Amino acid sequence: MLLNHLKERFIKDITMLFPEIKNLGEDSCEKVLSSISLEEPKNREFGDLTTNAAMVLASKVRKKPADLAILIKDKILYKYEEIKDVSVAGPGFLNIKLKDSFIIEKILDVFEKHDSYGSNDLAKGTKIQIEYVSSNPTGNLHIGHGRWGVMGDILSNIYSLNGFDVCREYYVNDYGTQAKIFSECVKSVYLEKFDMKYPYPEEGYPRDTVSNVADILFEKFADTFIKNKKTLEFDDISFSKNAIGIMVSFISDTLKSIGVEFDVWFFESSLYGEGSFEKTLDFLKKRKLTYEKEEALWFKSTAFGDDKDRVIIRKDGNPTYFASDIMYLMNKKERAFEYLLYILGADHHGYISRLKAIASSIGMDSKKVSIVIGQLVRIVEGREVQKMSRRKGKGFTLDDLVSEVGKDAVRYFFSMNSFDTHLDFDISLAKKKSSQNPVFYVQYAFARVGSIIRKAGESRPGNIDADFISSMDDYDSQAFKDFLLRIDRNDFKNSSERNLAWTILLLPDNVRDACKSDAPYFINQYLYRLASEFHYFYKHNKIISKDKVNIKRLLLALAARLVLKKGLAILGVSAPERM
């Protein structure tokens, strides 16, 4: 992590040069140091990096920003071997230019690490459970579910690269009212096949989906669930379990079509077996976390930061969804997860305070429970907004979208913007085979390097041997290692070479920052930037002539290819060799 490592080193040297900062107290010291930036300037003409350290520290060490900037430059930055030049600008900004030789050495490190490039040991095996989608098993997934599924899957990839031990989990709501209504709908259609009438719920689910489930039950079990036709005795428990199971398989198949799979499918009903609910109530009552009011049992969630207390058991004696939330979170704690991440839909804002309240009440650090709220998606084609409705059974579904534009476009478009903003998914744009389509633009950069490799194989330039040409993907081969030994450390010939090299080195920083901010779109933005730099580099630089190859430019193209493939894999998007 080029930027993060440099910043960590810089902050450490700042505290050594100005020990008085520590005298401010731990909180104040931390606040001051966190205000110091070391980042890319908006205008690359100012250098590779810029820092506001002098202006942040001026009042703390009682020096003028401009004078302090010179002191930091002379005492710290000029001692860094990788720095070529430092200049003071404006009221005290320090602009930093790194040596080309340093950047080239780091490019060589990309190949040395290859498979592990972009990863780090930030979390060192910390167990985290990421729960996402968790749609009721009562119908086809809508477009929003797809976005949340992609979000969860990519975040799981990102957390894994940062050293977390990730468990991907889907919570199946098979115990509540909606699951019961769905089973009643399926039962009505199923019994029709035996000329038996059973009322279809007025607020029931679409018959198309229900009929598909009933058909499978009929084919697989025939009349097994009907115990007595005359008395209408029926095995509702087994029937419901199988109906929900089939619906879960539909959901699983849809999610697999966009590359979303889970380590665990956790069924809500499992929380209520073997007296678990009673044990949970005993646990809460012994800790005086409940009280009775209006014939219901309440949880004292306001004592732990929630905006209101929550009902656990209704007047009719049935547990609420909140009761399940408590048991599920307790179950996660029992499974020794140190961090919990929930990815929920736009209508779940109230869950933030209640889930953190539950965590605090059972002895978990609420800061280690994160809830990401995702906004909805509109499907747009031309000027027309596609209708989407789950309950009415009419409209654009996730399956429809995948059929229309394919997995790669679905995953890239769903993840390319901040998750807390609404997304207009433009089907027309997603289908375009041009630079206007961002996923095509990034994939085309990767494919272009493939064409360079093929051209090298066909033209057989005299300054690279056949063994290297056949091993351009085998970074551990002796031929590839010999190729790297031939790379000169001299300055780049032009800015397009240097800009591409610099951008290649930023993947690890983006992976870390995406994890810290729960922001997959950092990766999309990075890949688009890298693709832009490569396309410009490709257009303005000759890599292979009739009998000779530019070794350093070929190195940059191969490094870009490696990193593009790595970044696309994080997003779960394919890297095509030809386009």
CA–CA distance, 206 with 194 (Å, rounded to integer): 21
> 393 pLDDT band (50/70/90 cuts)?
very low
Using one digit for the tens of pLDDT, what is the confidence trace for 479-496? 999 999 989 889 999 999
Q: Say yes or no to pLDDT of 463 above 60.
A: yes
End-to-end Cα spacing for the chain: 32
Record the pTM.
Answer: 0.93
By the 8 A CB rule, do 87 and 95 touch?
yes
Alpha-carbon distance of 475 to 468, in angstroms, equals 10
DSSP H or E segment with residue 560: helix 551-571
pLDDT tens digits, 331-340 = 999 999 999 9
pLDDT, residue 472, reads 85
Q: Alpha helices, DSSP H only, in 134-232?
A: 143-161, 177-192, 207-221
- pLDDT, mean of residues 102-114: 96
Binned at pLDDT 50, 70 and 90, residue 142 comes out as confident
Residue 387 phi/psi, 5° resolution? -80, 140
Q: What is the pLDDT of residues 291-313, one digit of tens each?
A: 999 999 999 999 999 999 999 99
Amino acid at 417: N
Percentage of residues in the chain having pLDDT higher than 90:
79
Position 75 pLDDT exceeds 80:
yes
DSSP secondary structure, 361-424, as one string: HTT--GGGEEEEEPPPEEEEETTEEPP--SSS--S--HHHHHHHH-HHHHHHHHHSS-TTS-EE
The CA-based dihedral angle spanning residues 177, 183, 185, 190, taken in that order and rounded to the nearest 10 degrees: -170
Each residue's pLDDT tens digit, 156-171: 999 999 999 999 999 9
Residue range(s) in the chain whose domain bears CATH number 3.30.1360.70? 2-98
Whether the pLDDT of residue 469 is over 60: the answer is: yes
Lowest mean pLDDT among 145-149, 285-289, 377-381: 377-381
CATH of domain 104-120+435-571: 1.10.730.10
Which pLDDT belongs to residue 17?
A: 93
pLDDT band at 391 (very low <50, low <70, confident <90, very high): very low
Is the Cβ–Cβ distance between 563 and 473 less than 8 Å?
A: no
d(CA 522, CA 530): 12
Rounded to the nearest 10 degrees, what angle do helices 143-161 and 407-415 cross at?
Answer: 80
Residues 388 and 143: beta-carbon distance below 8 Å: yes
Burial 82-102 (b: 16+ CB within 10 A, else e): ebeebebeeebbbbbebbbeb
Task: Average the pLDDT over each of 330-334, 472-476, 563-567 and give the range with the smallest value.
Answer: 472-476
The alpha carbons of the chain give a radius of gyration, in whole angstroms, of 29
Q: Where in the chain is the domain with CATH 3.40.50.620?
A: 127-174+261-373
Counting residues of the chain whose pLDDT is more than 70, the rounded percentage is 98
> What's the pLDDT at 60?
87
> Six-digit token pair at 425?
């998914």
Per-residue pLDDT band for 395 (boundaries 50, 70, 90) equals low
pLDDT at res. 45: 87
Instruction: Please report the pLDDT score of residue 80 as a whole number.
Output: 95
Distance of alpha carbon 179 from alpha carbon 236, whole angstroms: 12
Instruction: Estimate the crossing angle of helix 507-517 against helix 521-540, to 10 degrees.
Output: 160
Question: Which CATH number applies to 127-174+261-373?
Answer: 3.40.50.620
Predicted confidence (pLDDT) per residue in 219-235, tens digit: 999 999 999 888 889 99
Q: C-alpha distances in angstroms, 137 versus 140, 191, 205, 320, 347?
A: 8, 21, 11, 18, 18
Residue type, 403: S
Architecture of domain 2-98: 2-Layer Sandwich (3.30)
Beta strands 369-373; 377-381: pairing state:
unpaired
pLDDT of res. 348: 85
Q: Tell me: pLDDT of 473 over 80.
A: yes
Of 523, 314, 359, give the one whose Cα is nearest residue 438.
523
Question: Is the confidence at residue 126, as pLDDT, over 90?
Answer: yes
Whether residue 61 has pLDDT greater than 80:
yes
Q: How many CB atoms lie under 10 A from the CB of residue 12?
A: 12
pLDDT of 449-460, one tens digit each?
999 999 888 888
Query: For the chain, what is the mean pLDDT?
Result: 93
Look at residue 388 in the predicted model and tell me its pLDDT.
Answer: 59
Count other Cβ atoms within 10 Å, centred on residue 255: 24
Secondary structure of 264-314 as H, E, C letters: EEEEHHHHHCCCHHHHHHHHHHHCCCEEEECCEEEECHHHHCCCCCEEEEC
- CA atoms of 337 and 339, how far apart (whole Å): 6
Mean pLDDT (whole number) for 338-352: 91
What span, in angstroms and rounded, lies between the C-alpha atoms of 497 and 414?
32
Buried b (16+ CB within 10 A) or exposed e, 535-556: bebbeebebbeeeebbbbbbbb
CATH 1.10.730.10 residue spans of the chain: 104-120+435-571
Mean pLDDT value across residues 169-178:
93
Give me the pLDDT at residue 47, please.
92
Helix (H) or strand (E) holding 128: strand 127-131
Give the span between the Cα atoms of 218 and 194, in whole angstroms.
10
Say yes or no to pLDDT of 5 above 70.
yes
